[in-house]
């Protein structure tokens, strides 16, 4: 488990608004939301960046996206649409070095693409 702020959330050392958890993943609301819905899906395994993924992580990465889509469906905004983002390193704007997927939705999203 990573020694980042997300590791501390996983270990319950600091609070977070957790919306989903299983053996492999945790999901919680972003502290500084960039959309009406902004949830972070985080693998519990220590993986700093996308660059650190190996073929052995393929199932885990699939679970990450499936959990995000399931959450969007459960919250009722899947058909309207949403965005999943994984930032990588400095140019990607990554600030927490534990792999995480941003799920953004709940309104039309602008400023990308």
The tokens of 112 are what? 């990308």
Nearest residue to 39 (alpha-carbon basis) of 21, 24, 50, 27:
27
30 is an interface residue for ligand AMP by CB under 6 A: yes
Among residues 69, 78, 96, 109, the one that binds ligand AMP under rule CB under 6 A: 96
Q: How far is the CB of 11 from ligand AMP (least distance, A)?
A: 13
Spatial separation of the C-alpha atoms in residues 57 and 8, rounded to whole Å = 22
Structure tokens at 88: 């990588």
Q: Contact 37/105 with Cβ under 8 angstroms?
A: yes
Query: Does 51 sit near ligand AMP (CB under 6 A)?
Result: no
Residue 79: CB minimum distance to ligand AMP, A: 25
Residue 57 annotated among the catalytic residues of the structure: no
In the complex, the residues that contact ligand AMP under the rule CB under 6 A are 5, 16, 28, 30-32, 40, 87, 93-96
């Amino acid at each position: 488990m990573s020694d980042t702020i997300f590791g501390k959330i996983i270990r319950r050392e600091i609070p977070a608004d957790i919306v989903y958890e299983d053996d492999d993943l945790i999901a919680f609301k972003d502290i500084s939301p960039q959309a009406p819905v902004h949830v972070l899906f985080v693998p519990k395994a220590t993986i700093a960046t996308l660059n650190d993924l190996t073929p052995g992580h393929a199932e885990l990465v699939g679970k990450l996206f499936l959990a995000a889509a399931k959450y969007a469906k459960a919250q009722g905004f899947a058909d309207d649409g949403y965005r999943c983002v994984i930032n990588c390193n400095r140019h990607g704007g990554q600030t927490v070095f534990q792999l995480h997927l941003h799920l953004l939705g709940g309104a039309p999203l602008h400023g990308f693409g």
